[in-house]
Amino acid sequence: MAETVIVYCKIPNGFHLTVKAADGVDHTIRINGPINKQPSDVPVVCGHGATRIPKDFWDQWFKEHQNLEPVEKEHIFAADNKNSGRDMARERKDNRTGLEGIDPKKPGRGVGPAEEMKKALDKLPSQEGLV
């Protein structure tokens, strides 16, 4: 059996890894993100989806894409086994992708509960006749 690695991905919907084979044909593998429904023998760990892929595919993809932002920020990384992958995911659990859901208690500057937003909109001058 070919050697494999487990690729961990913190991007919510996963990511497509594509490499060009020696015959010029593109080969793509979809790696799981934490909210994927794709089958995997490796569970989601600390907000990282996991997918087992051939090591030579990963090595080629990583060599070609090591400067890609999700790789540099360690949102996508590989491990040789589940134990080291789990440890690496724990170390990176607080890495933010910018794609996380909004905390309803602290939704962000200028955003608030619907009632507060409606009150703020009601204070604005009427826009009738401007369209």
Tokens coding 28? 């793509």
Residue 5: which of 41, 56, 45, 52 has the closest Cα?
52
Q: How confident is the model at residue 67 (pLDDT cuts 50, 70, 90)?
A: very high
DSSP string, 31-98: EP-TT--S--SS--BTTBEEEEEEHHHHHHHHHHHTTSHHHHTTSEEEESSHHHHHHHHHHTTT---S
Alpha-carbon dihedral 50, 54, 59, 62, rounded to 10 degrees: -40
Query: Three-state DSSP class for 95?
Result: coil
Q: What is the pLDDT of residue 59?
A: 96
Q: Write out the two tokens for 114.
A: 């619907």
Q: What is the pLDDT of residues 89-108, one digit of tens each?
A: 999 988 888 888 777 777 77
Asked whether the beta carbons of 26 and 72 are under 8 A apart, the reply is no
At residue 117 the predicted structure's pLDDT band, cuts being 50, 70 and 90, is low
The whole-number pLDDT of residue 40 equals 73
What average pLDDT does the structure give for the chain?
86
